[in-house]
Amino acid sequence: MVTQIDAAERLLNLLIALVNSRGRMTKEQVRASVAGYADAPSDESFERMFERDKDTLRELGIPLVTVTDPGHGDDIGYRIDLETYALPPIDLTAAELGVLTLAAQTWQDRTMRGDTARALTKLRAVGQGPGETDLVAGLAPRVRSGGGAFAPLLDAAQERQAVRFTYRAANTGEVRERRVEPWQLLARRGGWVLVGRDLDRGASRSYRLSRIEGAVRPVGPPGAFEPPGQAEVDAALAAWREGPARTATLALLPERAEAARVRAVTPPPDTADLLARLRDDEGTAGLLAGRDVVHVGYRNAWELAEELVGYGDAVLVLDPPEVRDHVLWMLAQATGLAPRGGSSDPEVARG
């Protein structure tokens, strides 16, 4: 039995056929030669299918033009305007292409990964050639997947439509439903944060996507709220900026956790005494062997811990204890060894 071709594959087949057509293609030629259109059970069904696909191509910015035979006004065909569709020459410097490479590496969510990879491949084809990303070699920033919440929240933010979801508070472990006007999705230290207005609390809030449980569902019609001003967004993110500047001391495996290494800062004066005590202690001296000691700045212990836990055994937190406790708590949660919630996991997202 022949497998039915889905709409996305049929649309791609149509685009390929139109791009490679020497002149134009009539509807009859499309139906006879483009894979996917033979699935239409009737002429009316084919007409609806073809009209939808034409509209989709144009919405994507593809210059689909209609061509009428000069001698027969009712003989209509279609083609792609290749001069408009072709990518113009792009002169990218090594540094510019390197930055684009880092940006593409940042997007690890499955909803974005394929698009960024294809875009980067096209840009490399018109760039300076192999080796031009050496300026950023060794740097690989990562933004972890937003899970199933990412795509519906992104759609809702674009449509200005309220949503509801179940959220687990960090400090108490309380799990309850939230109704939120989604404003923006921001990448913060390796994870995704939703910024919006909590409709039940009547105030701006920010939420870690990693703490959303279950499905995100729309509430009410699109266009239900106006985009926020910058002052409102800043207020929602205030929790992420709270706290004095502090320094954490980490022990890193060689050539690992490069994104943490590039954030290295000058250590505080008392760090030498701390390292001396750790090396004199039989329980910790072995852990430091073969590792590089690096100091990174931070303001929020929970935020830094969520970034560091993604490196696994490549990072050991030597100081301060609060960051180390957060990391251990998160690892225990991931392995099912700790109860949900707990006082060692303070709420930062103000959810």
Which of 239, 259, 293 is a domain's end point? 239
| pLDDT band at residue 350 under the 50/70/90 scheme | very low
Q: CA-to-CA distance for 187 and 279, rounded, in angstroms?
A: 37
Residue whose structure tokens are 């990562």: 142
Which of 206, 239, 272 is a domain's end point? 239
Q: Are 15 and 75 contained in the same domain?
A: yes
| Residue 349 resides in a domain | no
Query: At 187, which helix (H) or strand (E)?
Result: strand 175-188
Q: Are 132 and 170 contained in the same domain?
A: no
Q: What is the pLDDT of residue 115?
A: 57
User: What's the mean pLDDT in 39-51?
Assistant: 90
Model confidence over 66-95: pLDDT tens digits?
888 766 556 789 988 887 776 666 666 666
Residues in the chain: 351
- Closest to 108 (Cα-Cα) out of 147, 139, 155: 147
Model confidence over 301-345: pLDDT tens digits?
777 887 888 788 888 888 888 888 888 877 876 666 555 444 444
| Residue 341 resides in a domain | no
Q: What is the pLDDT of residue 340?
A: 47
SS3 177: strand
User: What's the mean pLDDT in 161-168?
Assistant: 93
Q: Are 235 and 157 contained in the same domain?
A: yes
Q: What is the pLDDT of residue 51?
A: 92
Model confidence over 229-286: pLDDT tens digits?
888 887 777 765 556 788 888 888 888 887 788 888 888 777 777 777 777 777 677 7
Top pLDDT among 155 and 259 is at 155
| Residue 111 resides in a domain | yes
Which of 239, 259, 292 is a domain's end point? 239
Q: Are 223 and 296 contained in the same domain?
A: no
Q: Are 206 and 252 contained in the same domain?
A: no
Residue 351 in this model has a pLDDT that exceeds 50: no
Residue 218 in this model has a pLDDT that exceeds 90: yes
Query: At 80, which helix (H) or strand (E)?
Result: strand 72-80
Q: What is the pLDDT of residue 178?
A: 95
SS3 222: coil
Q: What is the pLDDT of residue 336?
A: 64
The tally of domains found in the chain comes to: 4
Q: Are 322 and 259 contained in the same domain?
A: yes
- Which residue range(s) make up the domain with 329? 246-334
Q: Are 154 and 233 contained in the same domain?
A: yes
Above pLDDT 90, what percent of the chain?
Answer: 15
User: What's the mean pLDDT in 114-137?
Assistant: 49
Q: Are 280 and 297 contained in the same domain?
A: yes
| Residue 342 resides in a domain | no
Q: Are 325 and 268 contained in the same domain?
A: yes
- CA 333, distance to chain mean position in Å, is 23
The domain that holds 212 is classified in CATH as 2.30.30
Helical axes 94-106 vs 110-125, angle rounded to 10°:
160
- 32-46, 150-164, 250-264, 281-295: lowest mean pLDDT where? 281-295
| Residue 287 resides in a domain | yes
219 is written with which tokens? 């509430």
Cis check for the bond before 320: say yes or no (omega within 30 of 0). yes
| pLDDT band at residue 128 under the 50/70/90 scheme | very low
Q: Are 158 and 232 contained in the same domain?
A: yes
Model confidence over 170-203: pLDDT tens digits?
555 678 899 999 998 887 655 688 889 999 988 8
The domain that holds 62 is classified in CATH as 1.10.10.10
Backbone angles phi and psi of 215, in degrees to 5: -85, 155
Q: What is the pTM of this model?
A: 0.46
Q: Are 80 and 128 contained in the same domain?
A: no
Residue 144 in this model has a pLDDT that exceeds 70: no
| Residue 343 resides in a domain | no
| Residue 317 resides in a domain | yes
Q: What is the pLDDT of residue 126?
A: 46
Q: Are 206 and 282 contained in the same domain?
A: no
